Amino acid sequence: MNNLSMLKIVFIMLSVLMLASAGNSNADKQPNIETESFWIVLPPEVARHTAGYGIIKNTGEASDTLLKITSNAGAVMLHKTEIQSGKARMTHIPNIVIEAHSELVLKPMSFHLMFSDLSPVIFIDGSKATLFLEFEQSGIIKINILIRPNW
Ligand SMILES: [Cu+2]
């Protein structure tokens, strides 16, 4: 075998190795979803809606999409409050991408959980509700969150 064909073989082998490792590193990239400081506002007895706040963090190497939220406290949706011509308006956000190394902060006048059809059994000061966050990659994440007055 001459030097040139030897070089060709080495080159081909290197290319195959590089492709294989590139494939591997992609497959290793996973999102890692964590939740922090979640709570639900205890509404006045007459209220039919209430809000929930907290932080969803993605500390992983790939993005993930929040597809669905459910709770034993009632019906729940992700909302976003925005100021449009001087008025606060809420928009329903059906799903949202959380990029790698980023977080979604749910806070007043911004993203929030919007609860309706409130369960009277759950909505007692100091009780806890269960929240299921369904992600495209990470699957369903269950968290227990405190219900407390915001005063
Ligand atoms: Cu809302």
Ligand 1 centre to CA of 112 (Å) is: 6
CA of 15 to the centre of ligand 1 (A): 53
- pLDDT at residue 102 above 90? yes
Mean pLDDT of all residues belonging to the chain: 89
Residue 34 Cα to ligand 1 midpoint, Å, equals: 23
Whether 57 and 12 map to the same domain: the answer is: no
Q: Do 41 and 110 belong to one domain? A: yes
Tell me: do 70 and 129 sit in the same domain.
Answer: yes
Distance 134 CA to ligand 1 centre (A): 19
Separation CA 103–CA 149 (nearest Å) = 25
CA 48–ligand 1 middle distance (angstroms): 12
Give me ligand 1 centre to Cα 91, in Å: 7
- The reply to whether 132 and 65 lie within a common domain is yes
39-67 residues labelled b (16+ CB within 10 A) or e (exposed):
bbbbbeeeeeebbbbbebbbebeebbebe
User: How many domains, the chain?
Assistant: 2
- Does residue 138 share a domain with residue 72? yes
Determine what percent of the chain is predicted with pLDDT higher than 90. 70
Ligand 1 centroid, distance to 5 Cα (angstroms): 68
Q: Kindly report, residue by residue over 137-150, the tens digit of the pLDDT.
A: 999 999 999 999 98
| 26 Cα–ligand 1 center, Å | 37
* Judgement on whether residues 64 and 131 belong to the same structural domain of the protein: yes
* Per-residue model confidence (pLDDT) at position 122: 82
CA 114 to ligand 1 center in whole angstroms: 5
More confident: 121 or 24:
121
Range(s) of the domain holding residue 83? 33-148
Sorting pLDDT into bands at 50, 70 and 90, what band is 19?
low
The yes-or-no verdict on residue 25 having pLDDT over 80 is no
> Same structural domain for residues 44 and 23?
no
pLDDT value for 80: 98
Q: What is the spatial distance between Cα 10 and Cα 14, in angstroms, rounded to a whole number? A: 6
Q: How many angstroms does the Cα of residue 93 sit away from the middle of ligand 1? A: 10
**CATH code of 94's domain:** 2.60.40.1890
End-to-end CA distance of the chain: 84
| Amino acid 18: pLDDT | 63
Q: What is the pTM of this model?
A: 0.79
